[in-house]
Amino acid sequence: MTPSVDVVIPTYGNWQLTESCLSRLREQTIPHLVTVADNGSRDGTPANVRTHLPEVRLVELGDNLGFAAACNRGVDAGDAEIVVLLNNDVECRPTFLEHLVAPFADDRVGLVAGSLVRPGELQIDSVGITADRTLAGFARLQGRPVGDAAAAQPVLLGPSGGAAAYRRAAWKAAGGLDENISFYAEDLDLALRLRSAGWTAAAAPDAVGVHLGSATAGQQSALQRYHGGFSRGYLLRRYGVLHRRTVVRALATEALVVAGDAVISRDLSALRGRVAGWRKGRGLPSRPMPPPECLDTSIGFRKSLRLRRQSYQAS
């Protein structure tokens, strides 16, 4: 039997994208309930949901509390067996949810990655995330032809928050997303915690959504680079990466990334973010590293730098 499904869409403005996303969800082949968790939009998003989509549950946060907080509040509002997180700039095929929840037939599976493709549906944007030994996360299969969506490599750590499914029991036991991380890598952190708890991750390559946001690549803003750096610094401390054998590689990689960002962007946003994230993690309990098989050891030093550059260019 198909499990019950809650779809949570965090929003902050861009009503036109949200409306398009919701219209595609109406065409899904399995029953589900949609929750829009709004981070204080000023473009009429809450009013539009109430007026035009009364079947959609609306959770209003009143202000922009961040992606993690919006998702957590949206998930808390429901009680379905499976929780799906979906970005509002994703347009799903009608069978998206059907394929996304299918792997949960295996009781060991706690998290499932959907397949995000770029506009035109020729290239993959991501099929979940992969991580190297320093816990640097990367969009899995990014830029590859859509025909490679079922590839076993790189190693799948877990889903990207833009198209992710979780077993509610696993989500609740882990405590949901860490709200100390406002933006970026909160999905990586949750995947690390769930895999450490023994849950299995699966990919659903046929659960296809077109990621419209990937159509507008360009240089990241200072705020984006700050938050990306914050998440990295925070996770380096929470997982004790600098107290492990990977310390030299981690420090060398971060130094090169920060220096390169400073040269390109002519500011120190990436560095300031890392320092702030490191400080935020002070005094918080350490988190265990996931089992070795959850990480992709084939991502060496040079490859990690290349993937960082690729991610930067695609943002």
- Main-chain phi, psi angles of 135, to 5 degrees: 70, 25
Residue 67 near residue 162, CB atoms below 8 Å: no
The answer to whether residues 178 and 195 belong to one domain is yes
* Coil vs helix vs strand at 35: strand
Residue 236 has pLDDT above 90, yes or no: yes
Exposed, middle or buried: residue 71 (CB in 10 Å: 0-12, 13-18, 19+)? buried
The answer to whether residues 204 and 301 belong to one domain is no
> What local confidence, expressed as pLDDT, does residue 312 receive?
66
Which of 159, 188, 215 is the C-terminal boundary of a domain? 215
Residue 65: DSSP 8-state: -
Exposed, middle or buried: residue 76 (CB in 10 Å: 0-12, 13-18, 19+)? middle
Range of the domain at 127: 5-215
Exposed, middle or buried: residue 33 (CB in 10 Å: 0-12, 13-18, 19+)? middle
The answer to whether residues 187 and 310 belong to one domain is no
Residue 64: DSSP 8-state: -
The answer to whether residues 246 and 125 belong to one domain is no
- As a whole number of angstroms, the distance between CA 84 and CA 67 comes to 14
Query: Of the candidates 132, 136, 131, which has an alpha carbon nearest to the alpha carbon of residue 257?
Result: 136
The answer to whether residues 228 and 211 belong to one domain is no
Angle, vertex CA 259, rays to CA 141 and CA 155, nearest 5? 20
Helix orientation angle between 247-265 and 222-238, rounded to the nearest 10 degrees: 170
Residue 142 near residue 126, CB atoms below 8 Å: yes
- Whole-model pTM? 0.94
Percent of the chain with pLDDT over 70: 97
- Main-chain phi, psi angles of 266, to 5 degrees: 60, 35
The answer to whether residues 187 and 251 belong to one domain is no
Residue 252 neighbours by CB distance under 10 Å:
13
- Model confidence at 313, in pLDDT bands (50, 70, 90)? low
Query: Of the candidates 169, 158, 177, 154, which has an alpha carbon nearest to the alpha carbon of residue 234?
Result: 177
Which of 191, 215, 239 is the C-terminal boundary of a domain? 215
Tens digits of residue pLDDT in 273-311: 999 999 999 999 999 999 999 999 999 999 999 988 877
Residue 2 has pLDDT above 50, yes or no: yes
* Coil vs helix vs strand at 210: strand
- As a whole number of angstroms, the distance between CA 268 and CA 261 comes to 8
The answer to whether residues 109 and 236 belong to one domain is no
- Model confidence at 220, in pLDDT bands (50, 70, 90)? confident
Which of 215, 231, 265 is the C-terminal boundary of a domain? 215
- How many domains, in total, are found in the chain? 2
